[in-house]
Amino acid sequence: MIHSLRPHIVLALLLCVLCIDICVADATSAAAVIEPSLYSPEDNVQILNNDTLEEHLYNSSTCNFVQFINYFCGDCRRYAHTFKQIAWRLYDWRRLLTVSVVDCAQERNVQICRDYNIRQTPTLRLFPPHFQRNEQQIGFDVDPHEPAAIYTKLAEYMAQIKYTPELPNFEPITAEDNQLTLQKSVDYCNTISYIVLVYQPVGTTIGRDLILDLLRWPIVAVRQLDDQLLFTNFGLEPSNKLALIDCGGNALALQPAADSTEAYVASVTKYLQTVGHMAEPQLVTTPAPNVTKFSLDGEQAAIISTVLHGQPKVYRADLEQAIDKLLHIELPKVQVFKGENMLALQQLLKVLRLFNPLNASGKQLINRLSDFVNSIDASGELSGVAFQMQVENHERKLPKVFKSKRYVGCIASGPFLRGFTCSLWTLFHYLTVESAKSTDLPPGAVLATIHGFAKHFFGCGDCVQHFMGMAERRKLFEVKNADEQILWLWEAHNEVNERIAGDSTEDPKFPKLQYPSQELCEKCHNPTWNRKEVLAFLKCVYDKKNLSSYGLPTANGYD
């Protein structure tokens, strides 16, 4: 038991061992809870949450590009490197666009992620200046995730917006425009020292792209001409394509080397540098660390050591965490339960109720929630808000149910690893094993419940996609035998393990092996899988009677 060890000794001993590869904090700060983040402001990514997102969006005169993530989603983690490159590049556009991130796996962000209907992550959303949310307006999804396609989408979007006068103007000039009208439209000869005129032939984006690429020059206002003849309004030849008017009112034709954005940018830049100006610097600082602020405290270090060196065990703490996060985060994020996802919710609570690993008050909580959702008839509906309130109301009336608030068997040795998804697998295996002991549910019902959860509630996009693929390929709905149900999930899980073994989401201390390893179960390997032995092994490890209370906050764990 952790609580029986003297924390200071554990801390001192374990920090020495573990600091070598993981720990970044010293003993004094180890106890402080610091939220790690995949991003940092040095990457040009602001980290927003329920308190700051809407204030940021509503009060902003620029466009806003927001990535919604779930820290536990492998794809979000894998995408972080690409997104940082995008954010660095977008630093050049910061006068018109901010870049931020919101983590929907944080309990505090449940409401905003529901309000913005974030179903799968990563989700990329774009918001106009002074955005106001309402039922119709929750921003625009940017579907492609590749940088080049994103820049194009952002440019298209940003160019249709009319900004306040101190910001760029994407509207082409009109036949009535001349030096005087353009000078009046900007803060001429104060902030703006040059007006650049660019001809954008129909079907091209050269003018738009020039505006964006010259955002690093706040002294320059670029205006587009969709008719070359309009150059004559400024005393220039109609054959021009690019020109510049300085503060003295002199109009000067520029001769770019080619008809490309790069050549136009080069031409304007060269002129400005010749007369002694400099662009604002780009974001070329050394990249911020991929993950900031992570430290293991002494207890976590002790847990890792115990989990790694003990017998294979299933820990109640993990089952509790899985159910805790389901009830408080994944389920209440749903906007509305009705039809298919209502059935999925009812079924999930029914299964949790039957094989509930929680203690007495946890049993009451699930019973009441199950009674409540199962009392809604098939055509009825329930909002995520109402579900969340049910959970909160019942919890208020019961002795504290969720106490551990930490993972044990699913503990990670680094940030953004293991945790919730690991606890879900653990819970699912546990449920298949428990259901084999009872006749309360038809065989196959637990797999169907897991399928319903994945399809409707699991916020990890790639996990869902793969699981749906496996369900079809491995014929999940044809499993009609309790033992086969246990083995189906075991094989499916091993398929996932094989696919993601060795990638950046793997915890080096918990490598993804085909389970159970030779070491854990020799008889299971003969030399290929001996399914009978595997079944016996799983039935033993995941058995309710064998659950370990290690790491729970009270001396006896649960009653």
Ligand X SMILES: Cc1cc2nc3c(=O)[nH]c(=O)nc-3n(C[C@H](O)[C@H](O)[C@H](O)COP(=O)(O)OP(=O)(O)OC[C@H]3O[C@@H](n4cnc5c(N)ncnc54)[C@H](O)[C@@H]3O)c2cc1C
Residue 290 is a binding residue for ligand NAG (CB under 6 A) = yes
| Torsion sign (Cα): 548, 554, 555, 559 | negative
Comparing CB distances to ligand NAG, the nearer of 198 and 521 is 521
Instruction: Name which position in 287, 386, 462, 466 contacts ligand NAG (CB under 6 A).
Output: 287
Q: Are 326 and 387 in contact (CB under 8 A)?
A: no
Residues that bind ligand X (CB under 6 A): 74, 410, 418, 421-422, 424-426, 429, 454, 462-463, 466-467, 490, 493-494, 496-497, 500, 505, 507, 510, 512, 515
546: partner contacted, choices ligand X, ligand NAG, none (Cβ within 5-8 A by kind): ligand NAG
Task: Decide which of ligand NAG, ligand X, none touches 510; Cβ closer than 5 to 8 Å per partner kind.
Answer: ligand X
CA–CA separation, 222 vs 200, rounded Å? 12
What is the distance between the alpha carbons of residues 503 and 19, in angstroms, rounded to a whole number?
23
Q: Which one of the spans 251-259, 282-290, 299-307, 322-330 is the region binding ligand NAG (CB under 6 A)?
A: 282-290
Q: 241, 144, 246, 266: which is closest to 195 by C-alpha? A: 246
Number of residues that bind ligand NAG (CB under 6 A): 25
Ordered DSSP codes for 109-165: GHHHHHHTT--SBSEEEEE-TT----SS-S-EE----SHHHHHHHHHHHHHTPPPPT
Among ligand NAG, ligand X, none, residue 361 binds (CB under 5-8 Å by kind)? ligand NAG
Identify what 558 binds: ligand NAG, ligand X, none; CB under 5 to 8 Å per kind: ligand NAG
Where in 93-112 is the site for ligand NAG (CB under 6 A)? 108
> 315 is in the binding site of which of ligand NAG, ligand X, none (Cβ under 5 to 8 A by kind)?
none
267 forms part of the interface with ligand NAG (CB under 6 A):
no
Nearer to ligand NAG, 45 or 230 (CB): 45
Do the beta carbons of residue 366 and residue 349 sit within 8 Å?
yes
Question: Quick one: tokens of 38?
Answer: 């995949």
Which of the listed partners (ligand X, ligand NAG, none) does 454 bind, with a CB threshold of 5 to 8 Å by partner kind? ligand X
Residue 82 touching ligand NAG (CB under 6 A): no
The strand ranges marked E within 365-404 are: 381-383
Q: With CB under 6 A as the contact rule, which of the stretches 48-56, 184-192, 218-226, 455-463 interacts with ligand NAG?
A: 48-56
163 forms part of the interface with ligand NAG (CB under 6 A): no
The DSSP-derived string for 244-313 is EE-TTS-EEEE--SSSSHHHHHHHHHHHHHHTT--PPPP--SPPPPSSB-----HHHHHHHHHHHHS---
531-541 helix and 482-500 helix, angle to the nearest 10 degrees: 90
Rounded-to-integer distance, Cα 344 and Cα 374, Å:
11
294 binds, among ligand NAG, ligand X, none (CB under 5 to 8 A by kind): none
Q: State in angstroms the smallest separation of the CB of 54 from ligand NAG.
A: 8
Cis geometry, peptide bond prior to residue 122 (ω within 30 degrees of 0): yes
Q: What is the DSSP letter of 331?
A: T
* Contacting ligand NAG within 530-559 (CB under 6 A): 540, 543, 545-546, 552, 554, 557-559
- Dihedral pair phi/psi, residue 4, rounded to 5°: -85, -10
Q: Report the residue number, 300 or 505, with the smaller CB distance to ligand X.
A: 505
**Least distance between ligand X and beta carbon 167 (Å):** 41
Give me the least distance between CB of 481 and ligand X, in Å please: 17
Q: Are 488 and 474 in contact (CB under 8 A)?
A: yes
If one asks whether residue 396 binds ligand NAG (CB under 6 A), the answer comes out as no
Closest CA to 496 of 505, 509, 483, 484: 505
Q: Which does 399 bind (CB under 5 to 8 A by kind): ligand NAG, ligand X, none?
A: ligand NAG
429 binds, among ligand X, ligand NAG, none (CB under 5 to 8 A by kind): ligand X
Least gap, CB of 307 to ligand X (angstroms): 9
Paired residues of 252 in beta bridges = 244
Cα distances from 334 to residues 368, 425, 459, in angstroms, run 20, 21, 10
Site map (CB under 6 A) of ligand NAG, residues 297-316, x = contact: --------------x-----
In the complex with ligand X, which residue's Cβ is closer, 276 or 502? 502
Query: Which C-beta is closer to ligand NAG: that of 228 or that of 530?
Result: 530
Backbone angles phi, psi at 303, to 5 degrees: -65, -45
DSSP of 485-501, one letter per residue?
A: HHHHHHHHHHHHHHHHT
Residues 6 or more apart from 298 whose CB is under 8 A from it?
Answer: 7, 8, 10, 11, 12, 14, 15, 30
Cα(310)–Cα(464) distance, rounded to whole angstroms?
32
Quick one: the chain helix, strand, coil %, rounded to 5? Answer: 45, 10, 45
Least distance between ligand X and beta carbon 510 (Å): 5
- The partner in contact with residue 425, picked from ligand NAG, ligand X, none with C-beta cut-offs of 5 to 8 angstroms by kind, is ligand X
Shortest spacing between CB 532 and ligand NAG, in angstroms:
15
Q: Which does 363 bind (CB under 5 to 8 A by kind): ligand NAG, ligand X, none?
A: none
Site string for ligand NAG, 497-516 (x = CB under 6 A): -------x------------
Closest to 104 measured CA to CA, from 460, 391, 371:
460
Of 466 and 474, nearer to ligand X (C-beta) is 466
Max CA-CA distance within the chain?
A: 90
- List the single partner that 559 binds among ligand X, ligand NAG, none, CB under 5 to 8 Å by kind: ligand NAG
Q: Which residues bind ligand NAG (CB under 6 A)?
A: 50-51, 55, 59, 81, 108, 287, 289-290, 311, 359-361, 399, 403, 504, 540, 543, 545-546, 552, 554, 557-559
